[in-house]
A and B are shown apart, each in its own frame.
Chain A
Amino acid sequence: MGSVLRRVFKKISGFSNYFERNQSPRSRRPFHRDVEQEEFQYASSHCLSSYYSVFVARLAIMVMLAILIGLLTLLTWHFTRVYTAKSLENLAFGLRYEILQRPILRMWNILNSTVEITTAQVRLSEYVIRRHSNPVNQAQQVELYEVMRDVTWALFASRKALNAITINYRNGFVQAFHRDRRSNSTFYIYSDLVNYSISGSYGTNTLSSLEGWSGNISATWYREPLDPATGEKIGKARKIPPDDLINIAGYSQVPDGAASWHVAVSKYTDSPLLSAALPVWDSAKESIVAVVGVTTALYSVGQLMKELVEFHSGHIYLTSQEGWLLATSTNAPLLKNSTTGTQLMMAIDSEDHVIRMGAELLKRAYGNQFPPSHEVHVENARLGHQLYYIDSFFLNLQRLPMVGVIIIPRKYVMGKVDERAFKTLVILISASLCILAVGCVCIFILTNGVSKEMKLRAELISHLDARRKAEASSNYKSQFLANMSHELRTPMAAVIGLLDILMCDDCLTNEQYATITQIRKCSTALLRLLNNILDLSKVESGKLVLEESEFDLGRELEGLVDMFSVQCINHSVETVLDLSDDMPRLVQGDSARVVQIFANLISNSIKFTTSGYIVLRGWCENPNTYSNTRKFPLNQKESRCMHKMSLKQHTNHTKRSCKKEDKVILWFEVDDTGCGIDPSKWESVFESFEQADPSTTRTHGGTGLGLCIVRTLVNKMGGEIKVVKKNGPGTLMQLYLLLNTPPDTAGKHCSLKFTDHSLMVLLALNGRMGRSIMSQWLQKNQVFTQEASEWHELTQILRELFQAKRYEEPRECSRPGELHTREMKDSVFIIVVDISLLDLNTDIWREQLNFLNKYYGKAKFAWILNHDTSNTVKMELRSKGHLLMVNRPLYQAKMVQILEAAIKERNLELRKKLNTLKSTADGDSHECLEIDPIQYDAASSDDSDKSEMGSPNPVKESHILKPTEFSNTPYVTVENCVVKSNGFSTNDPSQVRSTLCDRLCSGKVVGEHKSLGGLRILLAEDTPVLQRVATIMLEKLGATVVAVGDGKQAVDSLKITPSADGCRRDSPTEDYRGRTETEIRDGPPYDLIVMDCQMPKMDGYEATKEIRKSEMETGSHIPIVALTAHAMSSDEAKCLEVGMDAYLTKPIDCKQMVSTILSLTRRSV
């Protein structure tokens, strides 16, 4: 049993193995998470095998239960059956013995009584014969016979069972009484007296008597019926043939004088008769005088047997030792008629087939050789179709041994038992089957629960495992990406750099050039994507640390808007910057990240906006300065109010907290008129790789990372971003940032005092949104403003205004009540004209300019230029004296500059008039104020666009205009300007107001030529060629360069005081040098170090380490730019690792160098 189970288990486990093997190669994926996969498989196979083991256990338990119940059933059945059967068998044996004993006893009785009767008869006869011995005459003889007859009758009557008593005298006389049971009558039979001699025979020898015995055959016999009760003669005697009726025991039957037995057959009975014969001796006991025979029917034995059998069923029969049938319990005849008369039957010839078959069986089994005990017990003898018990007993009577056989059907004894046993068996089996079934079901249910639990548990474990792994792998991913940052960026940078170099190559064909341009574009896109992903992963892995440095938020945003407006111009989208005046100028934070936020948002908006406008609004929610009276532009008013209300609770606590720490909540809004975002996606757009509409990927491209980065950054800065419901098409993103403000500038805003000058501005701008925002802002600052959206409107307004002015009619002003003519006369009238109002496609614009020229002198013109405005237009404008030009877009800071320039000019004019000083130079000199976008490092690719304006037309003259003080000298040289402004920027960084001025001068006015003006740069380069080239390059850009030959010298030159530094090669101008030298004493010796990496004595890395180490003491930080020809990935990493700030490759690209140096030096300011 056990082995079978084992085999079954083996088979199952083998199957599961096979299944597993089958499964595994399919599910194995060529994936780097192979290990994980395997472990999953292991878990699942584990689960599977446990499932199978459960199955096997279940099976085993069931089988065992079945065996147990089966055994129990069998045992129960066996015991009940065996004990019952045994006891019953014993009982049955006793019963059979008993049953058989009775007929045998009866038989015995019969025999006994027969013997007794016979003996009695013999005694009586002896007595009577002795009394009447020697009868002398007939009479005496008769008397003797009469006495004998009476005696015999008495005996005969007393024994009803007797069939006959016969007395056969020696002389042949016969007396007999006979009962015929069939007719129930009794007869007296006697022989004829006449023929018998009375004497003579007695006392003769035995020989004569023998003769006498044989001589009576011819005698005549009579029979007379008698009354069975009284013995009275009731009928006439009739003659009958001798031996016709009954056997008369003769002398032949007692040859030896002893009693003899035999079974006889009578004509009148159908049953065998038992007859006993006994001789009657004479008194001398010498001779036999008569033979007494008693015949008893065995009928009663048969009767008894019948009775018994009726009660017990079965068959009983008696046979003689030879097998003659003496008595049966059936009614079958015991005698058969043959030719010689009726004869006894053998048992095997019996008509009753049961008896016959029983006898045959016995005979077959034993023949005539009965076992010594003379007892045979055969159980379960099959006779016919039934089983019988056969028992035979041997009854050893003298001269007549008999065998009694009893055949009892088994059914009679064991029938009920067998039936019961069968029923019990059936019941037991069915009961056990039921129990088995129920047990199996129970086991199944129980184990099912267990196995289910096991399965669930295994699943749970595997899930936990999987989750842990997934978390780990996600973590790995972030870390991997963060670590790969440099490795990914550097080759990309190298690719782009090399492409740049290739593009500079002149021997390219046009096709090649186009291809390379394409490659460069793709590479830049890829780099941007990489940067996005890396930023994101950096944030996710928690490696992003926000810088905390002061920066001019407005300026950054202006630069951003400048940059994007270039993009927008191509698809007629207006970019508007609307910063409220309460915004703090300087905030602390990570400027690059803040700019990234808005760059992402705006570029996103641009992507989805094909026409309309993009507005970047910003305002400050400072509890101190917050006022409800702030005007909201246009229809955004309500929504913003609503939004504020909803966020009020949220911002409340931040507001409270920020009170202490000088924090401000800066609100921003990016509003566009693009396709908008479905409200259901408002939350999900900020998820990684999520785009509002998947189809946008096809039309607009992108990865969906931008907004995710934005949100992460915003959250990092303690703010929140969300999409807000907007009236009209488009998207409105609202966010706030929590930024620190420097304590000294907090709450100090640009308070403009334009009201003193009674300004009047005519805004002739194309863009509706920008115009309205600007005019609202101006009106808020109490500057009278008028708007014109197209040329005709402009001319109309101009006509109205100036005709009114010409006629000098006080009431005839365009806006009665708002502006008085007198005031207007004194006021500065500024017309801001968008260049795109002019019809530039044809030559009409010249006429239009001429038309406007009429008003020159009456009003100041300020031109808003496009980036692609052609030079001819600019030249024309310049030649007409329109020198106030700004690039699109127009925002507050530019407006301020325009206004200030205008005021200044006016003041100058007034002064000139007052002094009545006229110089020839004055007539020629024009004031030119070109305001340029900030040199925004992120937008370095747009440099070429931006520089377009300034570079081809070198500026003759420039003014430094300080808003607060008035400059006495109108003629300031460029150099002075540069030095001065730089002096401010380096020595007095906190002078906020000067930044505006700085930008005016240090921007494109100085242009490419002197963009590094005033910087002191230490150049460490060993190759003389490179040293020379780099020195000249830097000096050309206006920097002061000190060149050293190796790292050691570089370190040394930093240690000694700069005034003692003798190795300075040259300076552009003498006065420059003087100034710088004096200034150098105050600050650090150099603004920047350009360091070659591979140098003799001490290479760049070592030198940098040295310098950084020494800086640890002072706390200062000199930017170091690495210069290397390697252009390999590891170099940049190494450079940055040792503490360098940036990285330039040889050959030096002028543009790149400038932007790098500028970004570094500006940050250090």
Chain B
Amino acid sequence: MDVVSQLQRQFVDFTTSLYHEGFLDDQFTQLQKLQDESNPEFVAEVVSLFFEDSENLLNNLANALQQQIVDYKQVDAHVHQFKGSSSSIGAQRVKNVCAAFRNLCEGKNLDGCIRCLQQLKLEYSLVKSKLETLFRLEQQILAAGGTVPSMA
């Protein structure tokens, strides 16, 4: 039980830090709320969907920006989608970068876009690792027989 409580505290601390550092926002809480007995793996499912989608999008973006003539419209559509998905899971910092990206896109600033893409990749990898850590913790707690503490 000691392990469980320790894990639980760790989990709580980690989650709180995520919120505080701005990786996640309220939307993620809402997602967690949506998870119940009928969809026990809902959050993980959504997040993995997000990861897949994001990786695709990042690839697409990198490709689009390497083109001779950059189709900003295309880029913008990608970023927009990225923004939509990131905001849906509450990846706040990714979302913010997306917003900045779109502004640059609008200004057709190629250098800015490339820089932004790098930033986006960084933010994405950060949030990905954080979320993976979070899920691992969750798994550990569950494996230890505890319940995942509610953050609500």
Contact with A along B9-45 (1 / 0, CB 8 A): 0000000000110100111001100101011001001
Q: Determine whether A1068 belongs to the interface, using a CB cutoff of 8 Å to chain B.
A: yes
- Apart from A501-B26, A1023-B81, A1029-B46, list 9 A-B contacts with CB within 8 A: A504-B25, A506-B20, A506-B25, A1024-B50, A1025-B85, A1094-B84, A1125-B83, A1146-B84, A1150-B30
A1030 to chain B: which residues have CB within 8 Å?
Answer: 88
Q: How far is the CB of B126 from chain A (nearest CB, A)?
A: 17
Interface residues of A (CB under 8 A from B): 501, 504-507, 1022-1026, 1028-1030, 1032-1033, 1036, 1068, 1092, 1094, 1125, 1146-1148, 1150
A1066 closest partner in B (C-beta): B38
Flag if B26 contacts A1025 (CB, 8 Å): no
Q: Please pick, from A506, A1026, A1036, the residue contacting B88 in the complex, using a CB distance under 8 A.
A: A1026
Given contacts A1023-B53, A1024-B52, A1147-B27, whether A1032 and B88 have CB atoms under 8 Å apart is no
CA distance A1150 to B29 in the complex (A): 12
Sort A-B residue pairs by CB-CB distance and give the 3 closest, nearest first.
A1025-B85, A504-B26, A1026-B88
- Minimum Cβ distance to chain A for residue B80 (Å): 6
| Docked complex Cα distance between A1028 and B31 (Å) | 10
Closest CB in chain B relative to A1100 CB, distance in Å? 12
B81, A1022: Cβ atoms closer than 8 Å: yes
* Residue contact B46 to A506, C-beta cutoff 8 Å: no
**Chain A neighbourhood of B26, CB < 8 A:** 501, 504-506
With CB as the reference atom, state the residue of chain B lying closest to A1092: B84
The residues of A that contact B39 with a CB separation of less than 8 Å are: 1032
Find chain A residues with CB under 8 A from B49 CB: 1024-1025, 1028
What is the CB-to-nearest-CB distance from A1072 to chain B, in angstroms, rounded to a whole number?
12
A1094 and B81 in contact, given A504-B25, A1023-B53, A1026-B88 (Cβ under 8 angstroms): yes
Q: How far is the CB of A502 from chain B (nearest CB, A)?
A: 10
Q: In the bound complex, how far is the Cα of B39 from the Cα of A195, in angstroms? A: 208
Known: A1036-B34, A1148-B88, A1150-B30. A1025 touches B50 (CB 8 A): yes
By the criterion CB–CB under 8 Å, are B90 and A1147 in contact?
A: yes
Set of chain A residues within 8 Å of B77, measured between Cβ atoms: 1094
Q: Are B30 and A1026 in contact (CB under 8 A)?
A: no
Interchain CB contact (< 8 A) of A1029 among B38, B80, B88 = B88
Minimum CB–CB distance from A1149 to chain B (whole Å) comes to: 9
* Cα–Cα, bound, A1026→B27 (Å): 11
What are 8 inter-chain pairs, A to B, with CB distance below 8 A? Answer: A506-B19, A507-B19, A507-B22, A1022-B81, A1024-B50, A1024-B52, A1125-B83, A1147-B87
Whether A1024 lies near B42 (C-beta < 8 A) is no
User: Is B7 in contact with chain A by the CB < 8 A criterion?
Assistant: no
A1094 cross-chain contacts in B, Cβ below 8 A: 77, 80-81, 84
B68-92 interface with A by 8 A CB criterion = 77, 80-81, 83-85, 87-90
Determine the distance from Cα of A1023 to Cα of B83 in the docked complex, in whole angstroms.
10
- Give A501 to B42 CA distance when docked, in angstroms: 23
Q: Shortest beta-carbon distance, B81 to chain A, in Å?
A: 5
User: Are A1025 and B19 in contact (CB-based, < 8 A)?
Assistant: no
In the complex, what distance in Å separates the CA atom of A1094 from the CA atom of B82?
Answer: 12
On whether the beta carbons of B85 and A1024 are closer than 8 Å, the reply is: yes
Residues of B near A1022 (CB, < 8 A) are: 81
Of A504, A1036, A1094, A1125, the most chain B CB neighbours within 10 A belong to A1125
Give A1021's nearest chain B residue, CB to CB.
B84
Residues of B within 8 A of A1036 (CB): 34, 36
Q: In the complex, which residues of chain B have a beta carbon less than 8 angstroms from the beta carbon of A1025?
A: 46, 49-50, 53, 84-85, 88-89
- With A504-B25, A504-B26, A506-B19 as known contacts, state yes or no: A1029 contacts B84, CB within 8 Å: no
Query: CA separation between A1030 and B38, bound complex, in Å?
Result: 16
Residue in A504, A507, A1028, A1125 whose beta carbon sits within 8 Å of that of B45 in the complex? A1028
Q: Bound complex: CA of A507 vs CA of B18, how far in Å?
A: 11
A1147-B88 contact in complex given A504-B26, A1028-B49, C-beta closer than 8 Å = yes
On whether the beta carbons of A1125 and B80 are closer than 8 Å, the reply is yes
Q: Is the CB of A1029 within 8 A of B31?
A: yes
A501 proximity list for chain B (CB < 8 A): 26
Contacting residues, chain B, for A505 (C-beta < 8 A): 25-26
B47: min CB distance to chain A, Å = 8
Shortest beta-carbon distance from A768 to chain B in Å: 44
Contacting residues, chain B, for A1029 (C-beta < 8 A) = 31, 34, 46, 88-89
B20–A1028 touching, CB < 8 Å: no
Docked-complex contact B87 and A1146, CB < 8 angstroms: yes
Residues of B contacting A1092 with CB < 8 Å? 84
Within 8 Å by CB of A507, from B20, B83, B90, lies B20
Shortest CB distance A1036–B (Å) = 6
Would you call B38 and A1068 a contact (CB within 8 A)?
A: yes
Residue of B nearest to A1145 (CB): B87
**Contact A1023 B38, CB 8 Å, known A1028-B46, A1147-B90:** no
Q: Return chain B residues, CB-CB under 8 Å to A1023.
A: 53, 81, 84-85, 88
Give the distance in Å from the alpha carbon of A1125 to the alpha carbon of B77 in the complex: 11
Give the nearest-CB partner of B85 in chain A: A1025
User: Closest residue to B16 on the A side, CB-wise?
Assistant: A506
Q: How far apart sit A506 and B22, CA to CA, in the bound complex (Å)?
A: 9
Interface residues in B49-64 (C-beta closer than 8 Å to A): 49-50, 52-53
Q: Given the complex of chains A and B, what is the CA–CA distance between A765 and B49 in angstroms?
A: 57
Q: Identify which of A1023, A1025, A1033 gathers the most chain B CB atoms within 10 Å of its CB.
A: A1025
Complex Cα spacing A1092 to B88, Å? 13
Q: How far is the CB of B41 from chain A (nearest CB, A)?
A: 11
CB-based contact A1125/B20 at 8 Å:
no
Chain A residues, Cβ within 8 Å of B27: 1147
- CB B74 to nearest CB in A, in angstroms, measures 11
Smallest CB separation, A816 vs chain B (Å): 60
* Residue of chain A at shortest CB distance from B83: A1125
* A504 CA to B92 CA, complexed, in Å: 12
Give the complex CA separation of A1036 and B50 in angstroms. 20
Least CB separation from A1027: chain B residue: B49
Specify the chain A residue showing the minimal Cβ separation from B52.
A1024
Whole-angstrom distance between the alpha carbons of A410 and B22 in the complex?
130
With the chains together, A1033 CA to B39 CA distance in Å?
11
Instruction: State in angstroms the CA–CA spacing of A507 and B93 once bound together.
Output: 13
Task: Please give me the residue from chain B that is nearest to A1148 by CB atom.
Answer: B88
A1018 to B31 alpha-carbon distance, docked (Å) = 20
Task: Encode contact with A along B84-109: 1 for CB under 8 Å, 0 otherwise.
Answer: 11011110000000000000000000
B50 partner residues in chain A, CB cutoff 8 A:
1024-1025
On whether the beta carbons of A1032 and B52 are closer than 8 Å, the reply is no
A501 and B90 CA atoms in complex are apart in Å by 11
Residues of chain A within 8 A (CB-CB) of B36 are 1036
User: Which residue of chain A has its CB nearest to the CB of B82?
Assistant: A1023
A301 to B34, CA, bound (A): 164
CA distance A1023 to B89 in the complex (A): 12
In the assembled complex, the Cα of A838 lies from the Cα of B90 at a distance in Å of 47
Q: How far is it, in angstroms, between the C-alpha of A501 and the C-alpha of B38 when the chains are bound?
A: 28
**A607 to B22 CA separation, bound complex (whole angstroms):** 42
In the assembled complex, which residues on chain A have CB atoms less than 8 Å from the CB atom of B42?
Answer: 1028, 1032
In the bound complex, CA of A715 to CA of B42 (Å): 55
Give the distance in Å from the alpha carbon of A1026 to the alpha carbon of B82 in the complex: 10
Which partner residue on chain A sits nearest B26 by CB separation? A504
Q: Which residue of B lies closest to A1094 (CB)?
A: B80
B87 proximity list for chain A (CB < 8 A): 1125, 1146-1147
Residue of A nearest to B20 (CB): A507
Q: In the bound complex, what is the Cα–Cα distance between A1030 and B42 (angstroms)?
A: 12
Task: Give the CA-CA distance A307 to B39 in the complex, in Å.
Answer: 165
Closest residue of A by beta carbon distance from B91? A1025
* List of A residues within 8 angstroms of B90 by Cβ: 1147
Nearest CB on A from B91, distance (A): 10
Give min CB distance, A1026 to chain B, whole Å. 4
> Which residues of the partner chain B approach A1033 to less than 8 Å between Cβ atoms?
30, 34
A1023 and B42 alpha carbons, distance in the complex (Å): 16
**How near does chain B come to A1068, taking the closest CB pair, in angstroms?**
7
Chain B residues with Cβ below 8 Å from A1148 are: 88
For the complex, give the distance between the alpha carbons of A1032 and B34 in Å. Answer: 7
A1026 to B31, CA, bound (A): 11
Interface centre among A1032, A1033, A1036 (most CB of B within 10 A): A1032
